[in-house]
Amino acid sequence: MKFAVLVFPGSNCDVDMYHAIKDGLGEEVDYVWHHETDLSQYDAILLPGGFSYGDYLRSGAIAGYSPVMAEVKKAAEQGKLILGVCNGFQILLEAGLLPGAMRKNQSLKFHCFQSPLEVLNNQTAFSKDYEQGEIINIPIAHGEGNYYCDEETLKELEANQQIVFRYKKNPNGSIIDIAGIMNKQGNVLGMMPHPERAMEELLGSADGRRLFTSILSTWREKQKHVTV
């Protein structure tokens, strides 16, 4: 499986994401600059955390118009797996690949610590290696992680089981404790916590590893059907 880690001006978690794939999974991975206009060689696309374009206007707002995002949208339509973490989640929202918006943390402070999450839906390409209702520990590091959407969108997210992860102790004011959501098709996930920083027990948790193994096993199963 071949992964792309997108890099925008201001990305600072791209190295962590690259390490999670290359050393954690042992899979092929490339850094891809935001000016790239062809992602056809990649099976999965990862948008890392950071402060793209210095978070000017709104977090992820400018990056949402980067040339590479047209290709990300095309890849999403093709059913490729796309993961946006922290600033990557914000970019997916700004680009319209996921519903809702992100606001400043309710405390107006930057938070950085291990955060317990509940796995609300383990029947997805990103969570199949977790148990339903399992509590996992994934670190957060954000100042604008307060997810918001209108009532109609929230009802839709709940009805379609698009809420994949929920905070057990809400650190930012996010509506109904939402930590991660996916699109209706189930191939685009955005989450504020950093699974790429939870790949080894030495770092405090290895609970993030199973998110990436879920992606890998989903792709392998799909390849079996393609080759049969």
Length of the chain: 228
Cross-strand bridge partners of residue 102: 147
Report which residue type is found at 107.
S
Over the range 80-104, which residues count as b (16 or more CB within 10 Å of their CB) and which as e? bbbbbbbbbbbbbbbbebbbbbbbb
Active-site residue flag, 196: yes
The reply to whether 36 belongs to the active site is no
The residue extents of the domains of the chain are 2-227
Judged by DSSP in three states, 39 sits in coil
Q: What is the chain's pLDDT, residue by residue, as a tens digit (228 residues)? A: 999 999 999 999 999 999 999 999 999 999 999 999 999 999 999 999 999 998 888 899 999 999 999 999 999 999 999 999 999 999 999 999 999 999 999 999 999 999 999 999 999 999 999 999 999 999 999 999 999 999 999 999 999 999 999 999 999 999 999 999 999 999 999 999 999 999 999 989 999 999 999 999 999 998 887 655
Q: Which of 34, 86, 118, 142 is catalytic?
A: 86
Tell me, yes or no, if 118 is annotated catalytic. no
Q: What is the reported pTM?
A: 0.96
| Residue (of 12, 84, 99, 102) closest to 45 by Cα position | 84
Contacts of 98 (CB under 8 A, 6+ apart): 84, 89, 92, 181, 182, 183, 188, 190
**CA dihedral over 146, 123, 208, 137, signed as positive or negative:** positive
CATH number, span 2-227: 3.40.50.880
